Amino acid sequence: MTFQQVLYILVTGALFMGLVAYVSYRMTKGKVESADDYFLAGRGLTGVFIAGSLLLTNLSAEQLIGLNGQSFAGNMSAMAWEVTAGIAAIIMALFLLPRFLGIGISTIPEFLSQRYDEDVRRLTVLLFLLGYMCVTIPSMLYSGGLAVLQLFDVPTLLGVSFEQSLWLVIWFIGIIGGIYAIFGGLRAVAVSDTLNGIGLIIIGFLVPTLGFLALGDGNLLDGMKTIVTTNPEKLNAIGSANDSVPFLSIFTGMIFANLFYWALNQYVIQRALGAKNLAEGQKGVLFTGYLKLLVPIFMLLPGVIAFHLYGTNIEKVDLAYPSLIAELLPMWLMGFFLAVLLGAVFSSFNSLLNSIATLFVLDIYKPKFKPDASDQDLIRVSKWFGTFVALVSFFVAPNLMYAPDGLWDLIRRFTGFFNIPILVIVLIGMLVKRVPPIAAKTVVFFHVIAYYFLVWGTKQWFGVEIGINFIHIYGILFVIETGIMLVFARVRPMLQANPIRIELGRIKPWRHALSTSILLVASMVFVYLVFSPVGLAYADGIVSGWFAPLAIGLVTLTTILVWASYRYGNSRYERYLNKLSEEPAEIEEASS
């Protein structure tokens, strides 16, 4: 790549990024005057901005790189992480969000302090902070840096080693991204996310289109036919026990992992907690579920296309998508792609920094060290803490290059340290009245130790391979830890309840929430039907003879259920919500 080409990419990329920054600045100017403005956008986000921000917060460079690497090496089974997220989005929108908004919490640990005690609150904050700082943020920076390296061939351009150039790029990306989050707050992040999300979707559809053209020697349909008729097993999303995501794991551990991510993960739900009202929050969360259905097209299909184009010539699976971009994307679009790629990295990075600062100042600094802190004090401390976290992640991120099984697998495995215990103590705390704080603390410590030994420890310490997929371990530990909580409720129950009122004015639902949820479930089933041995992965043709009858049956059943939701479901759902506000939820006193 010549100097002139690099300069052109940088200039055009900077122009698009500058436009996004200018629009974000104009739309948020003068609107960050309080802690609520900074951390929750003044609780005034609408469904469009919530959905746009949720999508780009979730879809970052580590998914562009990691998921395409998974499909390059295996098949489409990894799409389960994305497509089945709709189930968690529905549970969040219909059942959990009304409670969270009605109570008026800013963070999940804040709820836990009311339900259990301050020790449980601080334990969960510690889990969040360690997970975000040591795994989630570094993985986003690393994947973004990897894509930029491949796009510009930075080692050759600067005359340095791959490792040195990766350190340089990660620090460059991290410093620029940190400025967005540390100085702009959640509203600026949400606006810039929505604008960058538009660019991500454009690029997301453009890359596989160019890939099909390359496979078909300029003919789009021939390229599509190639991946369907040659190695059709690559399009199979029904994973076997040997695939990265076994199909049965969707119903064991994955449903819990997704429920944590979309309902309890602070940096994701902070957008929903900043909703103007319940109706806007439900729109945003459910629309995000529909947008996730597009993920197989631009997060996994390019990996399959790369397999057909390059075969085994790519040594490292995480280089499949960057190689495709470098080979196929025309020069005049490189700047736009760079802006979108960095926008995706910045989005997730910004969201994490904003959320990690929110957790620290609202759940540790204010309650523990300065209860009377002013809004300006909270904002100032959050900026300093965000800067500290960013610096730590800059040192951790480059070391992810040594991950043996690819970036995506690494992230999902390490997330298991904190997703299941937080999910258990929140859900059981809501549903069971007599669970004491000691139960929540026991579950946290038990999970960290048990998960380590089940995934890594038995092999490292005793030379014994458990042989159970880590996603199944999610489900196993969820059941065990739920049992621990229920045993404590039986043998050492709490004695006094502490009612928490839910404000009626904030929980008027969106009238299409139920029908939209039904259509979302049907759409998920249809996507799996398409990417299955009945659909495009059929070995003896384009699709099997069962595809059309099953699709027609699905449409018929969905139509009946949607009609029933308007005829009977909406009135019953509104009565359920009104009951929440009329009768205070009995949540135990914060003492054991």
How confident is the model over 103-114, as pLDDT tens digits?
Answer: 777 778 888 887
Spatial separation of the C-alpha atoms in residues 471 and 246, rounded to whole Å: 9
pLDDT surpassing 80 at residue 419: yes
Spatial separation of the C-alpha atoms in residues 193 and 50, rounded to whole Å: 9
pLDDT band at 27 (very low <50, low <70, confident <90, very high): low
The residue type found at 49 is: F
* Cβ atoms of 441 and 123 closer than 8 Å: yes
Count Cβ neighbours within 10 Å for each residue of 330-343 and write b for 16 or more, e otherwise.
Answer: eeebbbbbbbbbbb
* Cβ atoms of 338 and 148 closer than 8 Å: yes
pLDDT surpassing 90 at residue 487: yes
pLDDT at 561: 95
Written as one string, the DSSP assignment of 2-58 is -HHHHHHHHHHHHHHHHHHHHHHHHHHTT---SHHHHHHGGG-B-HHHHHHHHHHHH
pLDDT at 394: 84
pLDDT surpassing 90 at residue 401: no
pLDDT at 29: 58
257-266, 310-319, 364-373: least confident range:
310-319
pLDDT at 526: 95
Distances in whole angstroms, Cα of residue 413 to Cα of each of 83, 216, 407: 19, 38, 10
pLDDT at 42: 45
* Cβ atoms of 139 and 381 closer than 8 Å: no
Distances in whole angstroms, Cα of residue 542 to Cα of each of 235, 354, 564: 11, 47, 35
Residues recorded for the chain: 592
Spatial separation of the C-alpha atoms in residues 51 and 309, rounded to whole Å: 34
Q: How far is CA 9 from the centre of its chain?
A: 29
- Span 47-75, mean pLDDT? 76
pLDDT at 592: 38
195 contact partners, CB below 8 Å, separation of at least 6: 20, 23, 24, 52, 343
48-52, 122-126, 464-468, 486-490: least confident range:
48-52
Q: Which helix (H) or strand (E) holds 65?
A: helix 61-73
pLDDT band at 522 (very low <50, low <70, confident <90, very high): very high
| Dihedral, CA of residue 62, residue 65, residue 70 and residue 73, to nearest 10 | -150
pLDDT at 18: 75
pLDDT surpassing 60 at residue 395: yes
- Span 530-539, mean pLDDT? 90
To 10 degrees, what angle do helices 407-415 and 470-491 make?
A: 10
pLDDT at 28: 57
pLDDT at 188: 56
- Span 517-539, mean pLDDT? 93
pLDDT band at 529 (very low <50, low <70, confident <90, very high): very high
pLDDT band at 550 (very low <50, low <70, confident <90, very high): very high
pTM of the predicted model as reported, rounded to 2 decimal places: 0.79
More confident residue, 139 or 546: 546
